[in-house]
Structure 1
């Protein structure tokens, strides 16, 4: 027998009125559901589902001449907020302020360098923006600014906190409000991934030589493009002393041991439009069902351990010495999260960090 819930979960809804009704019905059946999960169940993007609230709790925003950097710069007025960046397997939440923003218009990039909120922004993927102002639990207002890609995938969200400036939020919405407040948006198909080249087509010796000459971790992306390899393929083909696969329980082990020793680390979680970084210690590590959580006062991390397909310890040369990371990937070879040692004044990474990663159990000898 097919239940109403199952029919809704398999539905693909097109028109805004129908979608809004489906969203209302689905919420009634699943009151604890998050909008991202509901959108997936209803066969639409999160941005499409959020847009059904335009004219009520949601306001569509518009970047002036497509300049999303201006929208990020003006978040400074909100004061203390919570920034959220996620992908399908990990959610990164960090409290702080947008006090220092740097933009690089010719490259359509930017960064936020607050002590709490640390972001790398890639505006070529940004397409939609909304403000949400709705009643939450205990009568408190839930206010947020949310950015999405052309395919309707969430890129970055900003949630107001008790200490946030709500008047500045109202001014922000008024400044960037769009003339179009219809409950529908046009979304593009999600970008497809190019097939991975056969390992035999790669000049592995030249690739390993180029890897050994890296001067900065940021050069790694250029290295993969130069040799036409995917990220996980690069790790497979790397010299054994530069990358090796470890057990997928490594994330839990690293977080728990970093917490026990108060070892400062860096945790990167991102998507094609935004990378969010936590720098500092972690304290409260709480596994719950399939989720591994860090639940600290200013930093929360949630990772679906069951969706980690491969984990790697990776070593990259830099001008300041070797940088060692734990890197996590999903079944499609997409990056879930990166963990590094927190370095002081760009000095060499901690010996404790290197020892921690060196002790992680390997999947197999290479």
Structure 2
């Protein structure tokens, strides 16, 4: 969150010292420390740029030039890295190589893709405002290296972490290439913009439901769904309520746990989409280890970790969309404000029909929901 006009801004030195104390005392996450200090996570990281006494904080941040597609496109030689994308309710972590990477569209509004087997991203660079190369001395004596990218509100949109298999020479070459000329200057912090006002939702009575449903039934590709919502001015959960009969069924909020457990038990390969306004990150493949820890539902696999706040799930839906390859089912989870937390599909490539085992699993969730409601 950004600072409100009524909140006095802590000095940069005070932010660094408070950060160091929080990490030392409770190993608190950057995001949680920033919230406790009344600043955005981007502001907290930016307070560590430039020259300051080393005993103030174990973290050092180097600002990067706003050439985001080029930065992401330069990461492949570094080899093994961990990609982290999150929203307020879910964290998605994948280990792999950032390749192949591409970008298209006008400068400043590029859409980016990373289409590796492990690292699979859809990137909206227009939402990226700040980036830093971060080095932190951890309490266990190890050093954590990352690239961290933030939106105009100072919220984290994407992070990249080194791993044991990372080529640190190639990693440092990326930082040296894209370091901002301001990197050696005195820290000045960043200014963040107020949170964007969400668009007003069109009342159901103003929606041409018949036309919307007809267009839904005429879909040829799942990627056409966003355009369908935009043409009719619909929020996603509103669209699910107004869906053609049998194409959007409400599920119990507990369906995430049931889905992941059954995917493990039945060896069903799935796709897990988690994103924010700047990035959508995708896991494709099986899941093997699912554990609950307090409010968190976790996948703890080699190369893929998912951390989902089950208590944030207010609604879940089984959604069916027609495509030229046959119907495709997704299970979608939303918070109380109607924001998407995560979406899950059966693993598939364009041109392939949906997996029968995934369809059976997804439809079984709706059957269980009907049983529970009876």
- Report the CA distance between 1:25 and its aligned residue: 4.3
Q: TM-score, normalised by structure 1?
A: 0.92
Partner residue, 1:180: 182
User: For 1:52-93, what per-residue CA distance to the aligned partner results, in whole angstroms no more than 9, with x for missing partners?
Assistant: 221363233333xx4310000001121101110000000000
Partner residue, 1:42: 37
User: For 1:17-42, what per-residue CA distance to the aligned partner results, in whole angstroms no more than 9, with x for missing partners?
Assistant: 333333344445x4221010111122
Contact 1:244 1:362 in 2 (8 A): no
Distance change (3 Å), C-alpha of 1:25 and 1:135: closer
Partner residue, 2:278: 273
1:362 aligns with 2:369: yes
Residue 161 of structure 1 aligns to a residue whose secondary structure is: strand
Distance change (3 Å), C-alpha of 1:178 and 1:225: same
Larger CA deviation: 14-23 vs 49-58: 14-23
2:240 to 230, 235, 238: 235
- Report the CA distance between 1:173 and its aligned residue: 1.3
Larger CA deviation: 78-87 vs 180-189: 180-189
Distance change (3 Å), C-alpha of 1:350 and 1:136: same
1:225 to 213, 224, 230: 230
Partner residue, 1:112: 114
Matches within 5 A, 1:191-230: 191-230=196-235
State the distance in 1 between where 2:140 and 2:10 align: 34
- Report the CA distance between 1:344 and its aligned residue: 5.2
User: For 1:314-352, what per-residue CA distance to the aligned partner results, in whole angstroms no more than 9, with x for missing partners?
Assistant: 011111111100001111111110100012563111112
Partner residue, 1:19: 15
Say how many residue pairs are matched. 353
Matches within 5 A, 1:1-366: 13-28=9-24, 30-55=25-50, 57-63=59-65, 66-106=66-106, 108-181=110-183, 182-343=187-348, 346-360=351-365, 361-362=368-369
Larger CA deviation: 185-194 vs 267-276: 185-194
State the distance in 2 between where 1:351 and 1:244 align: 19
Residue 39 of structure 1 aligns to a residue whose secondary structure is: helix
State the distance in 2 between where 1:247 and 1:81 align: 36
- Report the CA distance between 1:215 and its aligned residue: 1.0
State the distance in 2 between where 1:130 and 1:27 align: 19
State the distance in 2 between where 1:339 and 1:17 align: 43
Structure 1: where are the runs of 5+ without partners?
A: 1-10
State the distance in 1 between where 2:222 and 2:20 align: 46
State the distance in 1 between where 2:160 and 2:208 align: 44
Contact 1:12 1:43 in 2 (8 A): no
Contact 2:45 2:61 in 1 (8 A): no
Residue 151 of structure 1 aligns to a residue whose secondary structure is: coil
Q: Which runs of 4+ in 1 moved over 6 A?
A: none
Contact 1:19 1:52 in 2 (8 A): yes
Larger CA deviation: 238-247 vs 133-142: 133-142
- Report the CA distance between 1:172 and its aligned residue: 1.4
Contact 1:59 1:177 in 2 (8 A): no
